[in-house]
Amino acid sequence: MIENQKPTALITIFGATGDLANRKLYPSLYHLYKKDKLDQKFAVIGVARRELMPDQFQEQVRQSILEHVGTNENLDEFVSHFYYHSLDVSNTEHYHDLKNLVDELDAHYQLNGNRVFYLAMAPQFFGTIAESLYKQQLKSDNGFNRLVIEKPFGHDYPSAKELNDHIRLAFSEDEIYRIDHYLGKEMVQNIEVIRFANAIFEPLWNNRFISNIQVTSSETLGVEDRGRYYEGSGALRDMVQNHMLQMVALLAMEPPIRLNTNEIRSEKVKVLRALRPLEGDEISNSFVRGQYNAGVSKGKQVKSYREEEHVDSNSNTETFVAGKIMIDNFRWAGVPIYIRTGKRLTEKSTKIVVQFKDIPMNLYMKTEETLNPNLLVIHIQPDEGITLHLNVKKSGQFVETTPVKLNFSNKSVDGMNTPEAYEKLLYDCLRGDATNFAHWDEVALSWTYVDPIAKAWEQTKESSFPNYSSGSMGPDEADKLLEKDGFHWWPVTDLDVENC
Ligand code: NAP
């Protein structure tokens, strides 16, 4: 059940001096505060190792808001709710003093024992922090206790399970909120509404009418300063195991019997259970990896992945993945879902293209020509909207067809200001709505699907690396993956809202 719409809580952020806290969490809390979605009775404790005086921490939060939100409205009042506690999370003895501060603020702000513990820290600390919070009695017995965990949740299924088992000793599944920030994006949440609130799509949403689905999430940036992390991860673990498979689950799930957390999650889990597992040659037939070479990105010459900081000059890590996913159930049998994601690609964009099957007979073209297929394009980011590609009559004497695009863009709606994913997810967590967070079953099934691919790629060095130029849309093999099936990737730039 969703709780109070204006929740009161003590939010303890571990990793309070880090990048995520400064770029996303403080601005998101400020937005909630300004929109009056936070009760005046709230407090935030920032936790990290470095020694900071309370006013230094408040100044850091103030700077984060000025830089990322750009306003100082009620800022003094907002930052007055922020406290700081210096602590090394791996030292269990340090939690005693933190507990004193937590209890003190709980009483001072009358927070009714409602506690959110946000772990914005390196994943190796997740288990230790959860255990210490439990053992040092920082969980309250009178209000709610919620543990928010950032990605990555494990490196593969065994490590994810070990982490989950560790956390579950301290927090129940209901108390754990595993962040997948794609699930906080407006248009990802809109997938469900487009499907289940429109009579025209759901009857067609199956293998009788859809020929294939394409999900692209491309970045223009390279690995930046995350070389060390990325070397141990790669695009498959960083993007496919979580964000891409979550989008696939939302696209392919059955309508839930009710729009509540358990029912939606249970339908998504069924999709993930139906993913056709890959082994042996099926892996190289269905998945393609790439690594960026030097090239021109957004008009600037950029270096190759292997030349980036903290990256092995002979690295076997993939910065691009394209794959063909099959779902073995009645609705989707025979419909390929193609995914691709990578760094240093042509443009920053996340889009879903649903390609409908050709009509049975073409009355309007010469026999060797085909009509443009109908496409439904869901623009996730940076544009937000949907476009439906249809064929209509070309004006003039003769009956000829021409493609048109019916376009809805969030930007064009007056006053529309889509909240950031983190803002929505923080608010969901405060209200106790876990729908847009990943359940352990989803995490486990996603790793189970991805692990054989990751293993195969670790065991065989890819001799063609680097195999795509920065600024391109990935290696040629990604195109061949679809050509084998008689399809092609719909170019993301042609599908941009401005080009519609
Ligand atoms: P970061 O900038 O490196 O920050 C790490 C934070 O942890 C710092 O506040 C650091 O402060 C603190 N810390 C490190 N060791 C500590 C210890 N032993 N005890 C107490 N505090 C300690 O990392 P980040 O980029 O914010 O990322 C945090 C988490 O979010 C990671 O799991 C990451 O994968 C995930 N994430 C980040 C982003 C992003 O945009 N940054 C996006 C998605 C997911 P001190 O040095 O003062 O201790």
Write out the DSSP string of 334-366.
T--EEEEEESSBSS-EEEEEEEEPPPS--SSS-
Contact 171, 147 (CB under 8 A): yes
Which ligand 1 atom is the nearest neighbour of the CA of 229?
34
pLDDT per residue as tens digits for the range 214-257? 999 999 999 999 999 999 999 999 999 999 999 999 999 999 99
pLDDT of residue 369: 67
Q: Which of 12, 20, 23, 153, when mutated, tests ligand 1's pocket best, judged by the most ligand atoms within 8 Å of its CB? A: 20
Is it the case that residue 1 has pLDDT exceeding 70? no
pLDDT band at 368 (very low <50, low <70, confident <90, very high): low
pLDDT of residue 393: 87
Return the residue whose CA atom lies nearest to atom 38 of ligand 1. Answer: 20
Distances (CA, A) of 98 to 53, 104, 142: 15, 10, 18
Q: What one-letter code names the amino acid at 22?
A: N
Return the residue whose CA atom lies nearest to atom 17 of ligand 1. Answer: 88
What would the mean pLDDT of 121-134 be, rounded to a whole number?
96
Is it the case that residue 2 has pLDDT exceeding 60? no
| Annotated binding residues | 49, 88-89, 151, 181, 185, 219, 238, 343, 348
Q: Ligand 1: distance of its center to the CA of 88 in Å? A: 13
Contact 358, 369 (CB under 8 A): no
Return the residue whose CA atom lies nearest to atom 5 of ligand 1. Answer: 18
Across 23-158, the runs of DSSP E, i.e. the strands, are 42-48, 82-86, 115-119, 145-149
Which ligand 1 atom is the nearest neighbour of the CA of 86?
20
Q: Which of 57, 121, 231, 420, when mutated, tests ligand 1's pocket best, judged by the most ligand atoms within 8 Å of its CB? A: 121
Return the residue whose CA atom lies nearest to atom 34 of ligand 1. Answer: 151
* Site residues for ligand 1, CB cut-off 6 Å: 15-21, 23, 48-50, 87-90, 120-123, 150-151
pLDDT band at 497 (very low <50, low <70, confident <90, very high): low
Return the residue whose CA atom lies nearest to atom 1 of ligand 1. Answer: 18
pLDDT of residue 412: 62
Q: Ligand 1: distance of its center to the CA of 123 in Å? A: 9
Residue 184 has a CB neighbour count (10 Å cut-off) of 22
Beta bridge partners, 83, equal 45
Return the residue whose CA atom lies nearest to atom 37 of ligand 1. Answer: 20
pLDDT of residue 399: 81
pLDDT of residue 5: 81
Distance CA 458, CA 450 (A): 12
pLDDT band at 366 (very low <50, low <70, confident <90, very high): low
pLDDT per residue as tens digits for the range 457-472? 999 999 999 999 999 9
pLDDT of residue 495: 74
pLDDT of residue 484: 97
pLDDT per residue as tens digits for the range 158-207? 999 999 999 999 999 999 999 999 999 989 999 999 999 999 999 999 99
Distance CA 286, CA 281 (A): 9
* Mean predicted lDDT score pLDDT of the chain: 94
pLDDT band at 410 (very low <50, low <70, confident <90, very high): confident
Q: Ligand 1: distance of its center to the CA of 20 in Å? A: 7
The stretches of 214-328 forming alpha helices (DSSP H) are 227-231, 234-235, 245-252, 261-274, 281-286
| Annotated binding residues for NADP(+) | 49, 88-89, 151
Burial profile 315-328: b = 16 or more Cβ within 10 angstroms, e = fewer: bbbbbbbbbbbbbe
Return the residue whose CA atom lies nearest to atom 22 of ligand 1. Answer: 48
What would the mean pLDDT of 92-109 be, rounded to a whole number?
94
pLDDT per residue as tens digits for the range 312-331? 999 999 999 999 999 999 99
Distances (CA, A) of 272 to 52, 174, 239, 427, 437: 45, 20, 16, 27, 15
Question: Which positions are catalytic?
Answer: 243
Which ligand 1 atom is the nearest neighbour of the CA of 123?
32
Q: Return the minimum-mean-pLDDT range out of 163-167, 376-380, 411-415, 467-471.
A: 411-415
Q: Ligand 1: distance of its center to the CA of 427 in Å? A: 21
Task: Name the helix (H) or strand (E) containing 66.
Answer: helix 54-68
Question: Taken in order 236, 241, 247, 252, is the CA torsion positive or negative?
Answer: positive
Which ligand 1 atom is the nearest neighbour of the CA of 89?
19
Which residues have CB under 8 Å from 300's CB, separation 6+? none
Return the residue whose CA atom lies nearest to atom 12 of ligand 1. Answer: 15
Which ligand 1 atom is the nearest neighbour of the CA of 21?
26
Q: What is the pTM of this model?
A: 0.95
Q: What is the dihedral of CA 65, 227, 339, 463, to 10 degrees?
A: 170
Which is nearest to 432 in space by CA: 180, 100, 145, 228? 145
Two tokens, residue 124: 């190796």
Q: Ligand 1: distance of its center to the CA of 59 in Å? A: 19
Q: Which of 49, 51, 97, 118, when mutated, tests ligand 1's pocket best, judged by the most ligand atoms within 8 Å of its CB? A: 49
Is it the case that residue 65 has pLDDT exceeding 80? yes
Distances (CA, A) of 256 to 99, 213, 264: 41, 21, 6
pLDDT of residue 7: 86
Distances (CA, A) of 403 to 133, 354, 355, 408, 486: 59, 16, 14, 17, 21
Residue 37 has a CB neighbour count (10 Å cut-off) of 18
Distance CA 489, CA 475 (A): 13
pLDDT band at 492 (very low <50, low <70, confident <90, very high): confident
pLDDT band at 420 (very low <50, low <70, confident <90, very high): confident
Q: How far is CA 92 from the centre of its chain?
A: 32
Q: Ligand 1: distance of its center to the CA of 275 in Å? A: 33
Q: Ligand 1: distance of its center to the CA of 241 in Å? A: 21
| Annotated binding residues for substrate | 181, 185, 219, 238, 343, 348
pLDDT band at 414 (very low <50, low <70, confident <90, very high): low
Location of structure tokens 């950029």 = 302
Q: Ligand 1: distance of its center to the CA of 48 in Å? A: 9
pLDDT of residue 370: 74
Question: Taken in order 251, 253, 255, 261, is the CA torsion positive or negative?
Answer: negative
Which ligand 1 atom is the nearest neighbour of the CA of 23?
40
- For the chain, the maximum distance between any two Cα atoms, rounded to a whole number of angstroms, is 85
Distance CA 144, CA 162 (A): 25
Distances (CA, A) of 217 to 238, 341, 380, 388: 12, 5, 9, 20
pLDDT of residue 40: 87
Distance CA 300, CA 471 (A): 9
